[in-house]
Each structure stands twice: as structure tokens, then as C-alpha cells.
Structure 1
Amino acid sequence: MTKIAIICGSNRKQATTAQLCRHLEQVLVNKGCQVIFLDLYSLPLPLYSPDVECDDANLAIFKNGLNEADGIILATPEYHGAPSGVLKNALDYTGFAQFDGKVVLSASSTGGPVGVSSLQQLQTIVRNVHGINCPEWISIGGENRIFTPEGEPANQKTRERVLHTLQYFVKMVETFSSIKQ
């Protein structure tokens, strides 16, 4: 069974990033994947410092989830053209051990039309920890950030785009996972 870790990189209680992540989780579970959901709002991490050895329990959960995953989804709101500070802080704790050879899908939910700047920055981080960027990404913005009571994007084209992107991503994860083993 393919294991996917979803990192929800928002630090806001009712974040559309979290709604998007929960929708991604449901689609992946329906496709037969096992999902490790790492929500940085409910799993806060201490501020990263390379000078301090950190034995935080939340950090152990976070790193173990990534270590177990075959593929990773990084989801963020976009603040001032960049990923959220909580996601960047969490990623500063990671490295090759968590990402090397794993396919990574980047996703954003932004108040503007699209969150391209944050996605490009996430892809740069992924390259630097030897992850494999999925060439597709998910970016929802503006009125496309509305979700139904069932947790799906209200916009049909957004739902279709998410489904297409996740199918592509899962196929990539399965292909690269089989090569790695």
C-alpha cells in the first residue's frame, strides 16, 4: 500500500489550506493509499536552530511520518509570495533522510488568484533535500477556495484538476518507490 505524508503548513484554525489537505487525504484514501496527516497547526514545532539539539515529541512524530512515507505532499498558504513560516520552519528540521528519492507534490491555497511563488520556492527546497518534484502542482486561489459541507472544492474544475494531479502524483510515487526498493 502506497503511503503518502501530507504536511499541512498552515498555522490558522479554519485555514483553506487545511480544507484542501483534508480533501486530498480523502481522495488518496479512496484511491487505496495510506495517508499520514501532519498538520502543523495541531502539531506545532519549536523554532529551528542548528545550535540546539531538539528532542521534541512533535518533531519525532513529524520526522517519523516523513520517514515512513513513499511520497510527500507539501501544502501551504502563500504569505507575501512565500510559503508559510511554520512550513519553512518544519522543513528546516528535515533533510536527505526524509526526502531523498521521494516524489513530492506542492500545493497552495492563497487569497490571490494563484500561489505560484510559494510553489516555486517549495520546489527549490525539495531539490536541495534530494526529493523529486512532481511536475504537476495544485494551486487554488480566490473564489476557488470555497469548499462544500462535504469537504470538496465547490468549483467542478478545481475538483477535476485536483483529481488529475493526484492521479499523476500517485502514479509517479508508485513508479519511483518500486525503483528504490
Structure 2
Amino acid sequence: MKGLIIIGSAKMGSHTNALAHYLKGHFEDQYFEVEIFDLAEHPIHQLDVSGVSSPSEVYKNNLTLLQTKARNADFFVFGTPNYHGSYSGILKNALDHLTMDDFKMKPVGLIGNSGGIVSSEPLSHLRLIVRSLLGIAVPT
């Protein structure tokens, strides 16, 4: 099985990044093929449904890479820090560029980090997003 971990932290070398790499190692120990897509390393332009703005080639290439990896994934993990009680804007933006077909009936794990119990708040929000994308949020 192929998995895709999407890191939704804007900070290079973040705790979310470390957590994602730790989890990737555990998946690989069980013979899963897992890739990490770090949105800090591969930024994606903001979704513009009006078609007015023209994103740079770097953003276009990053988006194409994310979309290809998402379509080929059998399962996902979304990783996010806690930003004001919710998940990160860059993760939201990335998900806005993907479709329900990318997630339909696929399991989605959720990981988050921050100080204390507030880490669960972004994950509660993401469960709703996963459901609206027709994915299956794995209990955490």
C-alpha cells in the first residue's frame, strides 16, 4: 500500500515534521510505501477560482506533484500544528486544490502537536474535512 503524509506546518524543521518522519518510519517497518509532502518545502499557491492570478512555475510544479501523489495514494496522514485552535492555513489551501476523488473511501490518519490537550482541537476540525472529502478518518 502507498501512503502520503502531508505536513501542514509552515516552519522548516517543525515538531510536526519530526512527528511525520517518525510515523513514516513506523509505516516502513510494516512494509508500507510512504512518501512525505512537506508544504514548507513545497509551497502551493493560494486557490484562485477567479482565474485572475497566474501562479509561478514553482507553485504550479509543486501543485502538480501534490496532485499526482494524492491520486496515487491508498491512504493519507495529515499532520498539523495547532494554529489558534485549528489546523494550519497552508494545509487548508493544499486540501482545497485536491478533489473528493483523491480521498473517496480512503483512510486518513490525523496527527497534531502543541502543548497539552489542545492538540486534539485541530484534529476534530480535520475529521469534518475528511468526511466532506469522502475519506475515512481513522480514530486517533
TM-score (norm 2): 0.91
Once the two structures are TM-superposed, the CA of residue 50 in structure 1 deviates from its matched residue by 1.9
**Could you give the per-residue CA deviations for residues 81-114 of structure 1, whole angstroms, max 9, x where no partner exists?**
0101110111111121211110101110113434
Alignment correspondent of 1:176: none
Indicate if the aligned counterparts of 1:7 and 1:72 stay in contact, CA closer than 8 A: yes
Alignment correspondent of 1:145: none
What secondary structure does 1:113 align onto?
helix
Indicate if the aligned counterparts of 1:75 and 1:106 stay in contact, CA closer than 8 A: yes
CA distance in 2, matches of 1:85, 1:72: 18
CA distance in 1, matches of 2:13, 2:116: 17
**Which amino acid in the other structure matches residue 31 of structure 1?**
Q
CA distance in 2, matches of 1:112, 1:47: 31
Alignment correspondent of 1:57: 61
Alignment correspondent of 2:9: 10
Indicate if the aligned counterparts of 2:4 and 2:35 stay in contact, CA closer than 8 A: yes
Indicate if the aligned counterparts of 1:74 and 1:107 stay in contact, CA closer than 8 A: yes
Alignment correspondent of 1:130: 134
| Structure having the higher Rg | 1
CA distance in 2, matches of 1:61, 1:86: 16
> Is structure 2 residue 46 aligned with structure 1 residue 42?
no
Indicate if the aligned counterparts of 2:85 and 2:118 stay in contact, CA closer than 8 A: no
CA RMSD of aligned residues (A): 1.5
Instruction: Give the unaligned 5+ runs of structure 1.
Output: 138-181
CA distance in 2, matches of 1:30, 1:132: 23
> Is structure 2 residue 73 aligned with structure 1 residue 74?
no
What secondary structure does 2:67 align onto?
helix
Indicate if the aligned counterparts of 1:82 and 1:118 stay in contact, CA closer than 8 A: yes
**Which amino acid in the other structure matches residue 13 of structure 1?**
M
CA distance in 2, matches of 1:111, 1:87: 20
Instruction: Give the unaligned 5+ runs of structure 2.
Output: none
TM-score (norm 1): 0.71
CA distance in 2, matches of 1:121, 1:49: 23
CA distance in 2, matches of 1:5, 1:14: 19
What secondary structure does 1:36 align onto?
strand
